[in-house]
Structure 1
Amino acid sequence: MRYLYADIARGLAIQIRNGVLKPGDRLPSVRMLCQQHGISMNTAKRAFLELEAQSLVESRPQSGYFVSRPASLKLPLPETSKPSSRPTDSGPEELISKVYANMGRKDLTLFSIGVPSGNLLPTARLQKEIIQAARELEAAGAELEPIEGNVKLRRMVAQRSLLWGGNLSEDDLISTNGSMNALSFSLMTLGKPGDTIGVESPCYPGILQLALSLGYKVLELPTHPVTGIEIDALKKVIHKLQVCLLIPNFNAPLGSCMPDEHKKEVVALLARHGIPLIEDDTYGDLYFGLQRPTCCKSYDEEGNVLWCSAVSKTLAPGYRVGWIAPGRFRQPLLKMKLVHLTSSPAVLQEAVGSFLKNGRYDSHLRTLRRTLQENYRHYARVIGQHFPEGTRISRPQGGISLWVELEKGTDTAALYDLAIRQRISIAPGRMFTLQNQFENCMRLTLGLPWSDELETQLIRLGKLAGSLTR
């Protein structure tokens, strides 16, 4: 079967490869492509996604799509993952503990920790917001908040949901202590020990650890580095699942983004089988394109999607401010919060709510998104020049992660041990799975300020990787 988006992408790809369109040239906008070919916005976007998957084009915030520079062109995409379809219930605990023990260390180059550096965050402004919040709240915020959480925070999150088609109200939301707390409440509400949960592969280690700690069996789903989970693979194993947890927008660690039609199909498929979907949208505001992507929650007509998010990756990792829109599971989730948390820190949630309200958040996001995307280009250039031949990298469309795939046989756990002696910390790929896969992969964070020193460390890492492939 041939698709219109593929035909359009094929035509542009031929022009790029033939030199008609040269590196750095700007491509027609999504809207212009729609007018030229008489197609929908989704079809035009899918054509550009197809070109991105081939490393032929790249998106730039507020500017559009451009033909990729040579440094990016010569690095192919990682392969679609092929995990076993059998659920597993144990993981690489020792490796995960070793890597995350480095969190907060100032003497290391922390390529391993997937949050933005404090140098990229508006810390001075946030400090003022906290002082102001303590002045405005009754008893300076020392009293307990309602179980649902801070009203200002929930109201502002609800208003911002219009950006992705959520149309939420403050009553649809429950605040949490960060995104992992939101995911934890969701999993405790929906399942029981012995249930099987479907996740992407590779998957954020915190999700894997959380699921195992609650007694879940984990079934990893084949995942494409650009478009996310393979829906046909999900259909084949759906009878094994009781819960599904996905990061549709800028999955960590791949940076993939599910197309709208995939999100619609996944939501409808899971609803038909009565399987709740927990949607982790923590990275949704970190898009590199021209507009924020929709969420699975955008297409949820039955309250079957529990939409979870936070400011942990965008504004203040240490504040632990997050939220859930739990749909039809609101009452049991409120009960879960009452039992395990009672109330959330009022001052921090009020401060974040004010930051969202006054427009400073959007201004900060524009700068942060631009920095993350520029960092991706820097990383691609250095990796293309200094990493071993055969290295592949993901093409993140947003988020804070870069997935690097070295040649088969390279052990990134051994690379970690070499790198740490050079004061470089990486996240080996084996951390992101419960199966014997991704041993030759690693996740690097894009959330560090680019500098000559950072470039030197990345070059050094490439040379260490080369020493393992000889």
Structure 2
Amino acid sequence: MKNVFLYQEIAGNMATKIKTGVFKPGERLPSVRVLSNEHGISINTAKRVYLELEAQSLVQPRPQSGYFVSSLTYLKLPLPETSQPLPVANGTEPDELINGVYSTMGRNDLTLFSIGVPSGRLLPLAKLKKEIVLATRGLKEGGTEYEPLQGNVKLRRMVAARSLSWDGRLKESDVITTNGCMNALALCLTALTKPGDTIALESPGYPGILQLAVSLGLSVLEVATHPVSGIDIDALQKLLPKVNVCLLVPNFNTPLGYCMPDKHKKKLVHLLAKHGIPLIEDDTYGDLHFDSERPKCCKSFDMDGNVLWCSSVSKTLAPGYRVGWVAPGKYKDLILKLKLAHALSATTIIHEAVGNFLMTGRYENHLRHLRKTLQGNYQRYAVAIAEYFPNGTKISRPQGGLALWVEFPKEIDAVVLYNHALKKQIGIAPGRMFSLQNQFQNCMRLCIGLHWSDDLRIKLKQLGNLAKMLQLKASVRQL
């Protein structure tokens, strides 16, 4: 179910050439008329190509001169290192730090780079309110009745239909709705594990998943992870004799933002199926791709029902609505039994409203705008980091999602930076939150889902200045 316009395809090809250096920084690009003739497109379509590239900060228009390749100074920033967690299932949960960071949710006096959700200014709030009203009017008894155990029929039907875009081939009957993705992940882990079992996760990984695993009495094995290609499958394979369940975020993982290549996903699915190890796939960020096409999921390659695919609209549409789902494959009966015991029913009106929103096509239109905004934000953040942050700073190159991972020089402690930043009304997520092991002390995650403004740029500059101050103090101590 591809929905790529011709101008997007041409812009995508040109973007690739810019990023790979085929078109050099400062180089003049073909004029609108030349581009039109080369590709057999209208002048207006050629203009849309350049507007698309301009929105991605890849080209710059110059009056009476045409379009030129941007300098893209942020691409010169090195990538973070591949993580190297210890191959042991132990560690300490940084509870105090995590609680401190998440206690700031909803604080209007802070610039919250720390919370990984899109700003309300990027969401279709008026349309969502209208859908709530329509759902209340349309549902039997005004939506006060329980919905079916498996979940809202309309929502499940739309989730299944949208799976065609990533070769999911799901049916309505394959999907169970949940109260957000974390509820789906909790149901899956509860169904598949018992206290003392071992779960394999990416490192760094989402703090909520780490906390969930610990709360269920599970041992956590953190696996080496590359900032572009994701989890090291060879490293994982060596650990498999110790592993009962694997839980991964292959598409735009937070905090690194990588997208696991299809060949890696296929290899991973076949490897885990061979060893009889279930794969819980968190695909919450899959719709937030920066490329023209949505990436496949591990579930796309699942022939045995061994992948439990979980997702939601919490990162794309409405964080507070708590609308999620799971396609649990051969574990469907186990998940339904647990849902009956733990939840029985989701919020009827909310799930009906989201199902309606997905049916109208408004969701896809919203996603197009949101993806473009997030990609533009990533590039603006990266430019600011290249200009204001200490020399030696490294950043990830997210291919989608809401996260940007920043690795400072070793002498900068991100927890100390976090405390200083709060005094400037800035919230960040220190890297130590994303591991049970004693690592990532010089790293932080920034949410790129905020509304861009000059004030946001100033806040990034303040962060950079604070980091430089900490680096200078560390240098003085060493003298």
Q: How does 1:178-217 map onto structure 2 within 5 Å?
A: 178-217=180-219
Paired position in structure 2 for 1:81? 83
TM-fit CA distance, 1:96: 0.2
Separation in 2 of the partners of 1:68 and 1:265? 38
Q: What corresponds to 1:234 in structure 2?
A: 236
Match of 2:119 in 1: 117
Name 2:319's counterpart in structure 1.
Answer: 317
Cα 1:60/1:79, change in 2 over 3 Å: farther
- SS class of match (2:237): helix
Distance 1:330 1:62 in 2: 43
Q: Superposition RMSD on alpha carbons, in Å? A: 2.1
Q: Give the conservation status (yes or no) of the 8 Å contact 1:256–1:396.
A: yes
Question: Are 1:405 and 2:407 counterparts?
Answer: yes
Contact 2:163–2:169 (CA under 8 A) maintained in structure 1: yes
Q: Cα offset for 1:410?
A: 1.1
- Going from structure 1 to structure 2, the CA distance change for 1:14 and 1:129 (only over 3 Å counts) comes to closer
Distance 1:159 1:20, change over 3 A: closer
1:62 deviates by: 10
- Structure 1 residue 71: Cα displacement: 1.9
1:197·1:243 contact (CA, 8 Å) conserved in 2? yes
Residues 23 and 278 of structure 1: CA distance in aligned 2, closer, same or farther (over 3 Å): farther
Q: For residues 352 and 61 of structure 1, do their structure 2 counterparts lie closer, same or farther at Cα, with a shift above 3 Å needed? A: farther
Contact in 2 for aligned 1:199/1:245 (Cα 8 Å) = yes
Residues 62, 290 of structure 1: 8 Å contact kept: no
- Distance in 2 separating the partners of 1:465 and 1:374: 24
Give the 3 Å change call, closer, same or farther, for CA 232–147 of structure 1 in structure 2: same
Aligned to 1:432: 434
Write the deviation string for residues 50-91 of structure 1: whole angstroms up to 9, x where unpaired: xxxxxxxxx969999987733212211101100011011531
Cα distance, 1:213–1:270 mapped onto 2, change above 3 Å: same
3-state DSSP class of the match of 1:323? strand
Partner SS for 2:117? coil
1:13–1:374 Cα change, 3 Å: closer
Aligned residue runs from structure 1 range 110-149, under 5 A: 110-149=112-151
- The equivalent residue for 1:461 is 463
Q: 1:21 aligns with which of 24, 28, 32?
A: 24
Is residue 333 of structure 1 aligned with residue 350 of structure 2?
Answer: no
Q: What is the letter of the counterpart of residue 25 of structure 2?
A: K
SS of 2:305 mapped into structure 1: coil
Rate the CA distance shift 1:62–1:227 in 2: closer, same or farther, 3 A: farther
1:447 and 2:453 matched = no
Q: Which is worse superposed, 429-438 or 66-75?
A: 66-75
* Partner of residue 391, structure 2: 389
Q: Closer, same or farther in 2 for the Cα pair 1:183/1:230, shift >3 Å?
A: same
Structure 1, gaps ≥5 residues long: 1-11, 28-58
Question: CA offset at residue 357 of structure 1?
Answer: 0.5
2:220 alignment counterpart: 218
The DSSP-based 3-state class of the residue aligned with 2:355 is helix
For 1:85 and 1:413, the matched residues in 2 are separated by 25
Please report how far the alpha carbon of residue 21 of structure 1 lies from its aligned counterpart in structure 2 after TM superposition.
3.4
Contact 1:80 1:222 in 2 (8 A): yes
Measured in 1, the distance between the counterparts of 2:397 and 2:288 equals 14
The change in CA–CA distance for 1:429 and 1:139 in structure 2 (over 3 A counts) is: same
What CA deviation, in whole Å up to 9, does each residue of 1:422-465 have, x standing for no partner?
Answer: 00000000000000100000000000000011111110011001
| TM-score, normalization by structure 2 | 0.86
Match of 1:286 in 2: 288
The superposition leaves residues 33-64 of structure 1 with CA deviations (integer Å, 9 ceiling, x where unpaired) of: xxxxxxxxxxxxxxxxxxxxxxxxxx969999
In 2 relative to 1, CA 375–13 (structure 1 residues): closer, same or farther, beyond 3 Å? closer
AA in 2 matched with 1:308: C
Letter in 2 for 1:214: L
Take 1:61 and 1:193, find their aligned partners in 2: how far apart are those partners? 52
Alpha-carbon distance in structure 1 between the residues aligned to 2:280 and 2:147: 25
What's the counterpart of residue 37 of structure 1? none
**Counterpart Cα distance in 2 of 1:290 and 1:297:** 20
* Runs of 5+ unmatched residues, structure 2: 1-16, 31-51, 60-68, 473-479
- Give the 3 Å change call, closer, same or farther, for CA 263–469 of structure 1 in structure 2: same
Paired residue secondary structure (1:308): strand
Are 1:271 and 2:273 an aligned pair? yes
> Does the aligned pair in 1 maintain the 2:110–2:426 contact within 8 Å?
yes
Report the 3-state secondary structure (helix = DSSP H, G, I; strand = E; otherwise coil) of the residue aligned with 1:115.
coil
Amino acid at match of 2:322: R
Q: Residue 225 and residue 60 in structure 1: after superposition, are their counterparts in 2 closer, same or farther (change >3 A)?
A: farther
- Specify the alignment match of 1:158 in structure 2: 160
Distance 1:380 1:355, change over 3 A: same
Q: Is the 8 A contact 1:64 1:289 kept in 2?
A: no
Q: Distance in 2 between matches of 1:236 and 1:226?
A: 21
Report the Cα offset of residue 214 of structure 1: 0.3
SS at match of 1:403: strand
- 1:10-39 Cα shifts (integer Å, max 9, x gaps): xx89983xx863357889xxxxxxxxxxxx
Q: Percent identity?
A: 60
* Distance of aligned partners of 1:217 and 1:176 in 2 relative to their CA distance in 1, 3 Å threshold: same
- Asked if structure 1 preserves the Cα contact closer than 8 Å seen for 2:196 and 2:219, the reply is yes
Measured in 1, the distance between the counterparts of 2:297 and 2:151 equals 23
- Between 337-346 and 82-91, the greater mean CA deviation after superposition: 82-91
Q: TM-score, normalised on structure 1?
A: 0.88
Larger Rg: 2
**Is the contact between residue 61 and residue 288 of structure 1 (CA under 8 Å) also seen in structure 2?**
no
Which residue is equivalent to 1:298? 300
**Deviation for aligned residue 1:409:** 2.2
Distance 1:273 1:350 in 2: 39
1:366 aligns with 2:376: no
* 1:114–1:447 CA contact under 8 A, matched in 2: yes
